[in-house]
């Protein structure tokens, strides 16, 4: 095995071995671009380093010697040569770019002697400035000394000298600083600063290897689902200096505008500066358009290089360049990051330019790009001075800013008084909060994860939501949030970014939704490729319309319980729960019936012949009962029974593990009259709309089934209800089952005898297969990610090995018995790309997700088709 | 298909088709015993009846006509013949005896005309008595009229006539009663009482079919796991009369003593009486020994018939006989029910008599027989006048009587004051109640099922327990139980039968344990056949010793958490939970360490080389924290922190679904220092006992694993701890995993790479596969049984179709990767016969159950071997 490759030996397809940056440097070199010369230490060397207990192997060291020798020949410079020294940069580069996560060392190869000699031919101040930077970088990266130790020396020195900016330091100052830095190094290390460039390089390479496993890199990988065992490559490259003189400079360049996608060079540069000066913000960089006037030939070169690279990589490029004494060097190029809007515009433009195909365009657009188009966002500049008070789970995308309220009642009151900038903050939400959530710009909860009540409902509404902010303490009584360093009172502004999970103090402006003509065009292409149907989770007219407008092909999950929460209904529903006799219960159900009919009529009308999948009542009854003393009192008055009897009913309904308790089909077995009422409402609605000439495609879905007889029992009730109220004998609806408990998957062949369709409820199935309560797992899963025990969240991405294999086998078994059975998925993973890719291969017909995720799901389905 | 069989056409092997009683009547007929002639309508006819919407098919009716014609020829009597009428009994008879559950009609074939004619030749009073009995039976069974309607007529009539006993009714009285009964029938039915015997018979047969599905029969089947679709046969048999004259009589007879097993006829009889007179208790029957003196030749015949039948059926027989005018008839024989003690004595005796083999003996003994030997019981006579206040779940077998206390503290106080008759009654128990449970004669809880805390702990202790008495309301504050008609205060006596789940008011004496020399002998035979190891769930020296004495081959589950509940330990354990820093936690763990070492030393010493399987800490931490205000106050004082901070920690640890929350291996991932402490304690203990020359066979078990990395993470901690403290490099212990979450079963091949053994935790696996919280499912499962949706309790008997298939596939996969992997089961189903039979076929090596269930489990294992 070979561990080190010169830039001439690699190419862009060697990303796995050489990292993204390394592969690109090789490619550019071979394209004849002006790239500073160098070589790459491969990711295999890094993996090898970790396997050998963090020792760099002899084989790698031997190759390193040779690579240095070659580089010396190429450049005509030599390591340690006083007159013509080779100076290099040492940079990390993983398969996938992890910007800023790992370490870099510049100016490596300097020592006292070389510095003294160089000063004779180059600006002395410049040389010593490089040297002091090198010493502090080396101390930080290689030796892991506290940066502050060196910063403090610099600060004290400047304050003694009464100067503010580094630029004001004289050559003598820098010489003294070098002396002080080296002394500090000696104190901390116990040995003098290394003089030998090869030794410096070896240590630097190992330091970069180690930086693969620093905390921020591990966190970044966790957040981006990058495996821990990939390792990083290390790029060693001849130094070029943008700060050598006024004829030198440095800049960054995008081949198109990364914010809007406009096809025009975009970037900035500084003359007589190093890359870090642009980042530091002490000097204001100039727009790249200026360069055209300032140094037209360089601009022309840059332009043609940018276009060449773009054609070559078939994507918008993000480049770094340096001009050293009038000569242009390209330091790096990579596919540029961009906003969702830009991504889509660029993709559409490139299709038109015939640079890429539709398939390529679709493969390249990410779900984040789409999300960015559909939801308001914060501008990162506006966040610069904001205090982040929590970082929770990004439960529903989009950004919102507003005044804090602590319960739905207060939200509604504020809303009624005209307030629109409202953020609802709660320990956790429950069904009673729905109206308040709907009137809020964003929702924050302390507890719960991706599939908590708040998260699920917020996504359906398109309301931004951050859940699981365990770091916040909420005092609901006094209406105060306690964060680490202070408190937020009712009415104070906070800003919530549901796309990344951050919560900030104060007000931040949001962009509005970004859909554009390019977005429409792009989604048209997506629809062409999407072979799997994408249905929506929608419970009402509004959601159904939204879903249709975003391209839904039907409703895959209508949660009927959501229909019970309006004031008049919940009263009757509660009355039903409290009823002690069947007759009493039936009486109240009769009152609820007309509402349900109305609900279903509206859904059928909106969907006009597209599938409408209605799930029977699912959640445990106690979710419907009032929780606070006042509400209980009101209900007791209304019902004319004692508060105590309501309380004891609430107590009776309490469960140890409600997720595995009396819910789903189990309610239908205990209270068949509820199923009867729901079936009646569905069929009456169907009859009504059909009499107006509107078509219906009805599927009734039984939740939480685990045994065959549960399904047949409910099926009989539904069919008998149909017989009772229908004029025709024709049976033009389907009855199907959800598969949410593992047992249902295990006996799918038995269920398939009676079910006309199966819908996998992957949220519950994941919960029960792992034995992870989704409301509680947040507390320990962080440790799982930190310790590398899990590298993905199974509530976001389907666990293919476990839950996936269960689903796969269940589909196989079910199709053996009933080959035409329709197979769907409804669950949070129904819009996830990897999950859909897997599911498309095992034969599902549709996915169902919340309306705002439809475009993302369609994209994933199109990608799955292309992948096949 | 043939639906009706004459007694000559059937035999004892046709039990499925003809029912137990019918098959035996055929067999006895063919053995030449004096059986009243008749025929059997098969179970198939019953199934057919239900399938045809409760209509009796033409085919069956045709066969019925022929069967009647044949019976008329055989008996020389004719249906409806005035001079020589055929009168028959109509009796149910399922495959398995369901005594008293279904209906019977006697004297069928009578009508006004026949009665008038018969009265001329036979005692007129007798004839009218038969007739009025027939009319009321027919009204009850066929027409389903309220029995009281006829009872009331009789009572009013007797009260008018100032008589008390039926026997005092004159012939004229009976004639008038017949008139009144028939009039009442006419009023209720709207038609006159049917005169036509064939019509009577057809209706009676259908009525018996229907009685298969009456409430008590359905309940009996549910309790005895008898499938609902078997149906019942109907036996039609010539009437014989024990009450015809003083030369007639009737009786019941066991071929051996059903209480003790003694080999001597046992039974009772009454002259001039019908079977129901013996049951009614108005006349006191005589012991069968009397018959020897009273009618020696009949006794001799009975004796030889009993012995003949016993030889023939190879089992103790329970017979009914009638003497009609000096002629003996055998009405029925069946294998007799017996106490556990008798069952074992009879089996042992029959082996010695060479009537049966050891295999047959083992197959015949039930787990109930064994349970009856191991636990105190109530004598049914002592319960006759007791008020039953609840019927809950028979959670831990045995009977106990004592004074009610409502919390562990009060129990301990009473115990310390010398009270020994103590019953602990609680809403539900938790870890803090263990000492109180141990000091109680029995435990009753309002909530929870077979695998609730109370149930599991009580079974381990051998303490009788009834759980899930939802009908009782407990007012813990005022220390009162409210039952339907009254209340029980602290200190009042109640009696608890954990074998059948009943709770009675007042004091009832209990028999002590019944183990006998025959029991010891029987268990020796069982051990010979048991191929699967039977290990015990035992956490301490006492349980381990008990387990050994009952034949355990090791410890299959030592729940280390039980070791933390003693006062000193729980204090430190709580301190550990409340610790906010790792160092603090480690410090407290160091204090717990010596106790754990001591615990393990004792276990190793007792088991002396037999397997000891130690499970790492499993339950959610909040189970260890105090619940009541006082305890919290005490802890706060002890720890010198605020009550509020303890409360908020308790609040923090609260979970929505603790069963799927932060427990098992998840604790070990979050707090590796706990695993370190436990591993250290285990290895130190091992070293210590080995230094004394005692052998150890150690298996360390990681609970609730769902991913491979969880197991390897913990395994590394254990192995590293071993390396740190062990002198030898030799690694003579095993590390294995539990499989409790479905995902673990699905990825068993991955786990088998790292696990040296697998133990299926079937309680949790059942919970999560069904999505049934065992603490909550009781609330809805009753409806499931009532509606026939489930016909067994998956927490008692393994769900072979679902959970079983998951286990089977998991074992196959695991063995593919690691063919020597040891496979065990620990869970309540580990002592269940059907479950063990299944498990033995899919390759398990051991089961583990609570000490008192070891003999039952061994029996099941022996049966599984014999079944193979």
pLDDT tens digits for range A108-166: 999 999 999 999 988 899 999 999 999 999 999 999 998 888 999 999 999 999 988 78
B787: closest CA of chain A, how far (Å): 8
The DSSP letter of residue B671 is -
Task: Read off the tokens for A346.
Answer: 């660029």
Q: Write out pLDDT tens, residues A722-770.
A: 999 887 767 789 999 999 999 999 999 999 999 999 999 999 999 999 9
What is the rounded CA–CA span in Å between residue B661 and residue A767?
A: 10
| Main-chain dihedrals φ then ψ at residue B95, nearest 5 degrees | -55, -45
* Beta-carbon separation of A743 and B770 below 8 A: yes
Q: In chain B, positions 616-655, which contact chain A (CB-CB < 8 Å)?
A: 655
Q: Residues of chain B with pLDDT > 70: what percent?
A: 99
Q: Write out pLDDT tens, residues B525-563.
A: 999 998 899 999 999 999 999 999 999 999 999 999 877
Q: Write out pLDDT tens, residues A603-620.
A: 999 999 999 999 999 988
What pLDDT shows up at residue B802? Answer: 97
Q: Write out pLDDT tens, residues A78-102.
A: 999 988 999 999 999 999 888 777 8
Residue B702 β-bridge partners: B737
**Residues of chain A contacting residue B783, judged by C-beta atoms under 8 Å apart:** 669-670
- The band of B512, judged by pLDDT with boundaries at 50, 70 and 90, is low
* Beta-carbon separation of A662 and B707 below 8 A: no
Mean pLDDT value across chain B:
91
Q: Which residue of B has its CA nearest to A787?
A: B669
**Residues of chain A contacting residue B452, judged by C-beta atoms under 8 Å apart:** none
Q: In chain A, positions 772-801, which contact chain B (CB-CB < 8 Å)?
A: 772-773, 775-777, 779-780, 783-784, 787-790, 799, 801
pTM: 0.75
A105: closest CA of chain B, how far (Å): 35
What is the rounded CA–CA span in Å between residue B750 and residue B753?
A: 6
**Is B186 one of the annotated active-site residues of the chain?**
no
Please compute Rg for chain A using Cα positions: 32
A650: closest CA of chain B, how far (Å): 14
**Cβ atoms B412, B436 nearer than 8 A:** yes
Check CB contact of A491 with chain B, cutoff 8 Å. no
What pLDDT shows up at residue A459? Answer: 80
Compute CA distances A747 → A412, A744, B749, B801, whole Å. Answer: 47, 5, 22, 7
Check CB contact of A658 with chain B, cutoff 8 Å. yes
Q: Which residue of B has its CA nearest to A706?
A: B770
| Main-chain dihedrals φ then ψ at residue B616, nearest 5 degrees | -65, 160
Instruction: Give the helix ranges, DSSP H, for B212-295.
Output: 215-224, 275-280, 288-294
Closest partner residue to A670 among B740, B773, B783, by Cβ? B783
Which strands form B465-467's sheet, in the order they lie side by side? B388-391, B502-505, B493-497, B399-405, B422-426, B442-445, B465-467, B393-396
A392: closest CA of chain B, how far (Å): 17
H, E, C per residue of B673-687? HHHHHHHHHHHHHHH
- The band of A460, judged by pLDDT with boundaries at 50, 70 and 90, is confident
What is the rounded CA–CA span in Å between residue A757 and residue A323?
A: 65
Residue A53: pLDDT above 80? yes
Compute CA distances A718 → A612, A715, B783, whole Å. Answer: 16, 5, 19
B772: closest CA of chain A, how far (Å): 5
Of the residues A130, A826, A849, A861, only one is catalytic, namely A826
* Beta-carbon separation of A662 and B780 below 8 A: yes
Residue B92 β-bridge partners: B234
Residue A450: pLDDT above 80? no
Which strands form A232-238's sheet, in the order they lie side by side? A4-6, A38-41, A232-238, A88-94, A104-108
What pLDDT shows up at residue B107? Answer: 93
What pLDDT shows up at residue B203? Answer: 95
**Which residues, in sequence order, are CB contacts of B385 under 8 Å at separation 6+?**
none
B471: closest CA of chain A, how far (Å): 12
**Residues of chain A contacting residue B806, judged by C-beta atoms under 8 Å apart:** 742, 746
* Beta-carbon separation of B657 and A660 below 8 A: yes
Task: Read off the tokens for A150.
Answer: 């060196």
Q: Write out pLDDT tens, residues B782-802.
A: 889 888 899 888 988 999 999
What pLDDT shows up at residue B513? Answer: 59
Closest partner residue to B669 among A660, A773, A784, by Cβ? A784
Check CB contact of B770 with chain A, cutoff 8 Å. yes
**Residues of chain A contacting residue B775, judged by C-beta atoms under 8 Å apart:** 655-657
Residue B322 β-bridge partners: B250, B329
**Residues of chain B contacting residue A666, judged by C-beta atoms under 8 Å apart:** 780
- The band of B671, judged by pLDDT with boundaries at 50, 70 and 90, is very high
* Beta-carbon separation of B669 and A768 below 8 A: no
Of residues A251, A283, A359, the one with CA closest to residue A314: A359
**Residues of chain A contacting residue B770, judged by C-beta atoms under 8 Å apart:** 706, 741, 743
Compute CA distances A249 → A268, A275, A291, A514, B831, whole Å. Answer: 11, 9, 11, 37, 82
Q: Nearest 5 degrees, angle CA A376-CA A382-CA A387?
A: 105
* Beta-carbon separation of A670 and B802 below 8 A: no
Q: Residues of chain A with pLDDT > 90: what percent?
A: 66
* Beta-carbon separation of B799 and A743 below 8 A: yes
* Beta-carbon separation of A660 and B784 below 8 A: no
- The band of B713, judged by pLDDT with boundaries at 50, 70 and 90, is very high
Strands (E), A315-470: 317-324, 327-335, 388-391, 393-396, 399-405, 422-426, 442-445, 465-467
Q: Write out pLDDT tens, residues B357-412.
A: 999 999 999 888 888 788 888 887 788 889 999 998 888 888 999 999 999 999 99
Q: How many Cα atoms within 13 Å fall on the side-chain side of residue A128?
A: 22
* Beta-carbon separation of A709 and B790 below 8 A: yes
What pLDDT shows up at residue B224? Answer: 74
Residue A555: pLDDT above 80? yes
Of residues A744, A747, A604, A589, the one with CA closest to residue A676: A589
Closest partner residue to B789 among A713, A740, A741, by Cβ? A713
Q: Residues of chain B with pLDDT > 90: what percent?
A: 66
**Which residues, in sequence order, are CB contacts of B637 under 8 Å at separation 6+?**
none
* Beta-carbon separation of A770 and B743 below 8 A: yes
- Best of B660, B750, B751 to disrupt the A interface (most A CBs within 10 Å) is B660
Helix pair angle (A15-30, A43-51), 10° resolution: 150
- Best of A665, A743, A791 to disrupt the B interface (most B CBs within 10 Å) is A743
Q: Which residue of B has its CA nearest to A712?
A: B789
What is the rounded CA–CA span in Å between residue B786 and residue B31?
A: 41
* Beta-carbon separation of B764 and A771 below 8 A: yes
Rama region for B704: left / alpha / beta (φ>0; ψ in -120 to 50; rest): left
- The band of B216, judged by pLDDT with boundaries at 50, 70 and 90, is confident
* Beta-carbon separation of B802 and A706 below 8 A: yes
**Which residues, in sequence order, are CB contacts of A265 under 8 Å at separation 6+?**
A253, A254, A255, A256, A288, A289, A302, A303, A306
What is the rounded CA–CA span in Å between residue B400 and residue A821?
A: 56
What pLDDT shows up at residue B835? Answer: 93
A799: closest CA of chain B, how far (Å): 10
What is the rounded CA–CA span in Å between residue B299 and residue B283?
A: 21
Of the residues B453, B465, B849, B861, only one is catalytic, namely B453
**Is A861 one of the annotated active-site residues of the chain?**
no
**Burial, B480: exposed, middle or buried (Cβ in 10 Å; 0-12, 13-18, 19+)?**
middle
Closest partner residue to A660 among B713, B776, B799, by Cβ? B776
* Positive or negative torsion for Cα B286, B292, B293, B296: positive
- Which of A696-705, B20-29, B374-383, B451-460 is the most confident on average? A696-705
- The band of A637, judged by pLDDT with boundaries at 50, 70 and 90, is confident
B479: closest CA of chain A, how far (Å): 18
Mean pLDDT value across chain A:
91
Between chain A and chain B, how many beta carbons pairs sit less than 8 Å apart? Answer: 167
Check CB contact of B658 with chain A, cutoff 8 Å. yes
Compute CA distances A97 → A257, A337, A673, whole Å. Answer: 20, 10, 59
B705: closest CA of chain A, how far (Å): 9
Of the residues A453, A465, A469, A849, only one is catalytic, namely A453
Closest partner residue to A746 among B750, B777, B806, by Cβ? B806
Compute CA distances A326 → A272, A296, A441, A544, whole Å. Answer: 11, 12, 53, 62
């Amino acid at each position: 095995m070979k561990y080190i490759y010169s830039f001439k030996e690699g190419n862009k397809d060697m990303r796995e071995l050489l990292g993204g940056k390394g592969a690109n440097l090789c490619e550019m070199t071979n394209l004849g671009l002006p790239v500073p010369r160098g070589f790459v230490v491969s990711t295999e060397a890094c993996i090898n380093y970790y396997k050998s207990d963090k020792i760099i192997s002899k084989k790698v060291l031997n190759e390193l010697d040779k690579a240095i020798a070659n580089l010396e020949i190429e450049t005509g410079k030599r390591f340690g040569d006083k007159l013509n020294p080779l100076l290099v940069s040492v940079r990390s580069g993983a398969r996938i770019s992890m910007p800023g996560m790992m370490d870099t060392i510049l100016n490596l190869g300097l020592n006292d002697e070389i510095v003294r000699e160089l000063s004779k031919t180059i600006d002395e101040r410049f040389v010593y400035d490089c040297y002091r930077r090198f010493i502090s970088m080396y101390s930080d990266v290689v030796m892991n000394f506290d940066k502050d130790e060196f910063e403090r020396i610099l600060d004290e020195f400047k304050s003694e000298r009464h100067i503010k900016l580094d630029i004001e330091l004289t050559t003598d100052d820098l010489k003294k600083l070098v002396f002080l830095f080296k002394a500090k190094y000696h104190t901390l290390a116990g040995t003098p600063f290394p003089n030998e460039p090869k030794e410096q390089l070896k240590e630097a390479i190992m330091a970069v290897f180690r930086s693969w496993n620093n905390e921020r890199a591990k966190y970044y990988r966790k957040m981006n689902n990058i495996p821990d065992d990939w390792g990083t490559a290390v790029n060693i490259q001849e130094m070029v200096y943008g700060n050598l003189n006024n004829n030198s400079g440095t800049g960054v360049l995008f081949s198109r505008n990364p914010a809007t996608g406009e096809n025009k060079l975009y970037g900035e540069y500084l003359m007589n500066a190093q890359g870090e000066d642009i980042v530091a913000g002490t000097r204001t960089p100039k727009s790249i358009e200026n360069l055209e006037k300032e140094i037209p030939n360089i601009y022309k070169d840059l332009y043609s290089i940018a276009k060449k690279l773009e054609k070559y990589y078939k994507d918008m490029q993000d480049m770094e360049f340096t001009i050293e004494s009038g000569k242009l060097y390209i330091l790096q190029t990579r596919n540029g990051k961009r906003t969702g809007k830009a991504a889509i515009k660029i993709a559409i433009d490139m299709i038109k330019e015939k640079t890429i195909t539709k398939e390529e365009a679709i493969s390249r657009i990410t779900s984040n790009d789409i999300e960015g188009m559909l939801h308001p966002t914060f501008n990162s500049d506006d966040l610069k001075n904001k205090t982040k008070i929590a970082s929770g789970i990004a439960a529903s995308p989009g950004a919102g800013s507003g005044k804090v309220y602590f319960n739905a009642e207060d939200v509604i009151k504020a809303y009624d008084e005209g307030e629109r900038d409202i953020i609802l903050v709660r320990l956790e939400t429950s069904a009673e909060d729905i109206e308040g959530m709907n009137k809020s710009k964003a929702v924050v909860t302390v507890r719960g994860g991706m599939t908590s009540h708040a998260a699920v409902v917020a996504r359906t509404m398109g309301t931004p939501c951050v859940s699981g902010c365990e770091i916040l303490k909420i005092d609901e009584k006094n209406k105060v949030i306690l964060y680490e360093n202070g408190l937020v009172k009712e009415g104070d502004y906070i800003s919530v970014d549901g796309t990344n999970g951050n919560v900030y103090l104060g007000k931040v402006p949001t962009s509005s939704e970004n859909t554009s003509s390019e977005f429409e065009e792009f989604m048209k292409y997506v629809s062409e490729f999407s072979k799997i149907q994408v249905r929506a989770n929608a419970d009402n007219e509004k959601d159904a319309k939204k879903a249709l407008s975003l391209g839904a092909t039907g409703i895959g999950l209508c949660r009927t319980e959501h229909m019970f929460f309006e004031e008049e209904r919940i009263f009757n529903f509660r009355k039903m729960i409290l009823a002690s006799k069947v007759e009493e219960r039936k009486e109240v159900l009769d009152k609820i019936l007309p509402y349900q009919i109305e609900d279903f009529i509206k859904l059928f009308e909106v969907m006009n012949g597209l599938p409408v999948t209605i799930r029977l009542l699912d959640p445990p009854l106690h979710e419907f009962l009032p929780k606070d003393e006042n509400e209980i009192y009101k209900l007791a008055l209304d019902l004319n029974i004692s508060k105590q009897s309501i309380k004891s009913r609430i107590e009776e309904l309490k469960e140890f593990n409600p997720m595995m308790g009396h819910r789903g089909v189990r309610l239908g077995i205990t209270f068949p009259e509820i199923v009867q009422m729901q079936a009646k409402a569905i069929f009456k609605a169907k009859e009504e709309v059909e009499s107006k000439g509107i078509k219906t495609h009805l599927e009734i879905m039984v939740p939480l089934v685990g045994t065959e007889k549960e399904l047949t029992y409910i099926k009989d009730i539904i069919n008998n209800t149909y017989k009772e109220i229908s004029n025709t004998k024709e049976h033009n609806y389907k009855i199907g089952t959800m598969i949410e408990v593992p047992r249902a998957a295990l006996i799918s062949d038995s269920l398939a005898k009676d079910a006309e369709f199966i819908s996998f409820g992957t949220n519950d199935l994941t919960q029960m297969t792992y034995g992870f309560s989704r409301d509680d797992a947040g507390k320990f899963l962080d440790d799982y990610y930190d310790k590398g025990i899990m590298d993905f969240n199974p509530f976001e991405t389907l666990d293919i090995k476990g839950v996936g294999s269960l689903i796969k086998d269940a589909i196989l078994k079910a199709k053996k018995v009933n080959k035409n059975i329709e197979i769907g998925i409804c669950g949070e993973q129904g819009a996830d790309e990897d999950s859909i890719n897997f599911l498309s291969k095992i034969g599902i017909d549709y996915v169902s997700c919340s309306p705002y995720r439809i475009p993302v799901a369609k994209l994933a389905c199109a990608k799955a088709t292309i992948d096949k």
